[in-house]
Amino acid sequence: MSSAIDIAASVQSGERSAIEVLEEHLGAIAERESEVHAFNLVTTDQAIAAATAVDELVAKGGPLGPLAGVPVAIKDNLCTRGVATTCSSKILEGWVPPYDATVVTRLAAAGAIMVGKTNMDEFAMGSSTENSAFGPTRNPHDLSRVPGGSSGGSAAAVAAGFAPISLGSDTGGSIRQPAALCGVVGVKPTYGTVSRLGLVAFGSSLDQVGPFANTVAEAALVCEVIGGHDPGDSTSLPQAFPAVSEHLSDGVQGMRIGLITEMMGEGIAPDVAKRIRAAAEWLAAAGAEVEEVSVPAVTYGLSAYYLVAPAEASSNLSRYDGVRYGLRVDAPTTGEMMELTRTAGFGDEVKRRIMLGTYALSAGYYDAFYGTALKVRTLIRRDFDAAYERFDALLSPTSPTTAFSFGDKTADPMSMYLNDVCTIATNLAGHPAMSVPYGLGDDGMPVGAQVLAPALGEVAMFRVAAALEGSLV
């Protein structure tokens, strides 16, 4: 399959039609979707209409966007006007939003063609896409293994060739971890650089939208298309997304890169650590100053996250009450109706996190749990800031292991939560990070190298990522 950049160039030049490109990708979906299950919904009719409109614009010589004719898959927690948005939950099954998320609008304005809504862990709560109400997504590299989560469908869609780019959301690693497990590029931008308007909220101070792609250059282009200020999002920064595409060939000569000590020890599989050390050695050979750096507070990231995120989730998910939209289970009283609706509509993991968050926010426990977690969050940010006084970017594994088999971790929530141990701290800090494929583990499955940078440090992050990618060519 061609890259998004090549597809757009060929459509813009008239070498290929958007319809031809779409049919090629719909053919790939028809061939493997039944075994991979990347999508909750394939939007064939809407995609054909959008591709036809692009071809008509080409024929007229009209202005074309940088993603003209490029198929894109959208995570099913991003609102799409007239197209069901379920968050892979029974409680929203069949709900059709009356508006598009800002990132969906911007992709369409750039000429991209939505081919479907991708499967995910319910309300983005999970690390394996086993928590979907509509069944799991499978890793295209090995169907017996998970694709990661919560954006597993979006990662699998790109890895399987169903679309060259896709969008996901990242609250504690939900873009980067599945990108690592599926062997694709995944980006979590700085909090506030990409609009959250139309993203169904999980943890409002943590959630961020970002792309999956096969290459760093494609991911950079998508970030520039979807990023930038949105007056409809009160947390949106009033500035354009950094012009990262201009710096992908700058190399790493003279850059200072720190290998995070706390993310290379206990809990990290030896074959994963070996690949990350190889990445560090290559960066040093390419002219970067590379040395280990301690970021002590990241070891508390998991504990803090599983108080902050469930607390915000318990507030955000209180809107699903059976009254205004989605599932409704009738009962004699309003209270009983809400209880029955939520019991039937939410899965076990969502219920677990709502209860955790409600407990952490309850009177008598607020200061001990949620308040303390916020203090730890501040410590994490300070420790990162101290590291970034010495280094331009940081390096770590994205996931502690390669993709694991279905059912391996579902019986023990804590073992599942540990899959995000390398990614969570970035969300708590609000900083950017991305995963780049960096070879294979001992089992032949992809390993992801995580590149981290300070807030608004995307240029440095993409320079390092592009260099790592180039080292494997």
Distance of CA 46 to the CA centre of its chain: 24
Measured distance CA(110)–CA(70) in Å, rounded? 9
Catalytic site includes residue 249: no
Q: Which of the residues 89, 132, 169, 174 is marked catalytic? A: 174
Q: For residue 414, which phi and psi values (nearest 5 degrees)?
A: -65, -40
Q: Which residues contact 62 (CB under 8 A, 6 or more apart)?
A: none
> Considering 75, 90, 117, 409, which one is annotated as catalytic?
75
Q: Give yes or no: 75 in active site.
A: yes
Catalytic one of 17, 89, 127, 150: 150
Element at 430 (helix H, strand E): none
Give the number of residues written for the chain.
473
Residues 6+ apart with CB under 8 A from 408: none
Q: Provide the β-strand partners of residue 440.
A: 446
* 150 in catalytic set: yes
Q: Which residues contact 1 (CB under 8 A, 6 or more apart)?
A: 24, 25, 28, 161, 164
466-472 long-range Cβ contacts below 8 angstroms, 24+ apart: 466/216, 466/217, 466/248, 466/249, 467/251, 467/252, 467/283, 467/286, 468/279, 468/282, 468/283, 468/436, 468/438, 469/185, 469/215, 469/216, 469/436, 469/437, 471/279, 471/282, 471/286, 472/437, 472/438, 472/439
Can you read off the two tokens belonging to residue 307? 């108080």
Beta bridge pairs of residue 187: 434
Q: Where in the sequence numbering do the catalytic residues fall?
A: 75, 150, 174
